[in-house]
Amino acid sequence: MLIIYGINGKKYLLLLLLCQLGFLFFGMLSIFVYVIKIDGILDIPSSMISLLLCVLYAISALWIGLFWDSFSKLMFSVYATKKVIFQQRFIIPILLLCLLAAYTTHAILLTKQFSNLLIVSLSPLFLASILAILATLVIIGIVIKEIINDKKIYIQSQHKLTELRKKFGSEPIRRIETSINLAYNKAFANPLPPSQGFTVIGITSKPWYEISDLPKVKLLEDKYEIIHQEALQARESNTLLKPYYYPGVNMGGWDSIYLVRGGKKVEESILYFPKTLEILELISNHTRLETAELLVLKPGEIVKPHRDPASSFIICQLGISIPENCGISVGGESRTWKEGKCLFFDPSYEHTVWNYSDKPRVVLLVVFYKPDLTNIEIDFIHMLDSGDWSQEPG
């Protein structure tokens, strides 16, 4: 979770949720006060109740605005670049409903036209407020758990860095140690661009790469016919293809078959991709890879602009089945695939994909570690992502 929006992002999210909780609570309180006033339990002027609650709403709205702005700058510069996606689907509707419920209640309160029918009509809103509060409390609990987990990860990373320093000395771990401190705001200054997510300082950063940057990967192009044949055969199996979801970016229309995950072969794919996996293993002896999968983008689909959460990787996409009118844009530059040829790009730059044809677009996607990362750094990044600190880097 660290590399998605960082520990600071989670703190801002927690504050945002607390503000939302207060907002929901005051909405429920206004309904409650309205009901007990009707029953004659309290003899408080309606205008006084409404004025007090409106002030509380205004304060809550101000806090929500401030923390939403700060949080969105942190999260959306790294993860999904279209703020409107998340706002429209989660934050904005909830806030609008809360405001509508609150001020509708106040308007009714000021009219002094009370009836049992109005009480009955408000009861679903009261119940909805309770459920919303409970749901928000659950999310708050999850975020708090993640913040605590982040602190544990930082402590574990420091213990592992101490071990590595004793084993290899300070210089081999200098970049990764500085990068961890920057990610957890333990450094005095952060020279890294905020749009790049978790970054190991000193490594190459550019939107597009060429095959000359990863010469051993040319084996994919040389063995294209073999890979192409296995890919087409595997696509015929309905059990292998699984929906591929990227939160806030696509809602379907993207299917995948994993061949390699976390640097390890996926068992169910060995039967269908024996030769492709052999080719990938040969390449990984020279250029380490993290993931390999067959990606299918359905006709008419668009993958919205987004960035991946870390800049330690280069994505290679080998064209398998490429119809017309499909392409990819990375860092503002558009290119298209060719069957049997590879495209290379850094996924931490904003990128979007489209398929305007009436046929599926199929590529073999391989995630390689950047070649200027050392084995120690790659092992440490893998431990950071997986949470498995029992490995021995180097």
| pLDDT of residue 4 exceeding 80 | no
| pLDDT of residue 87 exceeding 60 | no
54-78 pLDDT tens trace: 666 666 655 555 555 555 544 444 4
331-369 pLDDT tens trace: 889 999 999 999 999 998 888 899 999 999 999 999 999
Confidence band for 179, pLDDT divided at 50, 70 and 90? confident
260 three-state secondary structure: strand
pLDDT of residue 78: 41
Question: Which one, of 209, 195, 385, 208, lies nearest residue 308 by Cα?
Answer: 195
| pLDDT of residue 36 exceeding 50 | yes
d(Cα 79, Cα 73) in Å, to the nearest integer?
10
pLDDT of residue 21: 74
pLDDT of residue 384: 76
Q: Domains, the chain, ranges and CATH?
A: 2-149 (no CATH), 208-369 (2.60.120.330)
pLDDT of residue 24: 67
Confidence band for 2, pLDDT divided at 50, 70 and 90? very low
Confidence band for 91, pLDDT divided at 50, 70 and 90? low
Enter the DSSP assignment of 113. -
234-290 pLDDT tens trace: 988 767 788 876 655 555 678 889 999 988 999 989 999 999 999 999 999 888 999
Mean pLDDT of the chain: 75
d(Cα 379, Cα 392) in Å, to the nearest integer?
8
118-127 pLDDT tens trace: 555 556 656 6
Render 293-357 in DSSP notation, one character per residue.
Answer: EEEEEPTT-EEEEE--SBSSEEEEEEEEE--SSEEEEETTEEE---BT-EEEE-TTS-EEEEE-S
- Express as a percent the part of the chain with pLDDT over 70: 58
d(Cα 75, Cα 309) in Å, to the nearest integer?
10
pTM for this predicted structure: 0.65
pLDDT of residue 160: 83
298: Cα within 13 Å, side-chain hemisphere: 12
pLDDT of residue 191: 45
Which of 44-53, 215-224, 290-299 has the least mean pLDDT? Answer: 44-53
d(Cα 75, Cα 89) in Å, to the nearest integer?
16
189 or 22: which leads in pLDDT: 22
pLDDT of residue 205: 86
Confidence band for 6, pLDDT divided at 50, 70 and 90? low
Which residues, in sequence order, are bridge partners of residue 342? 318
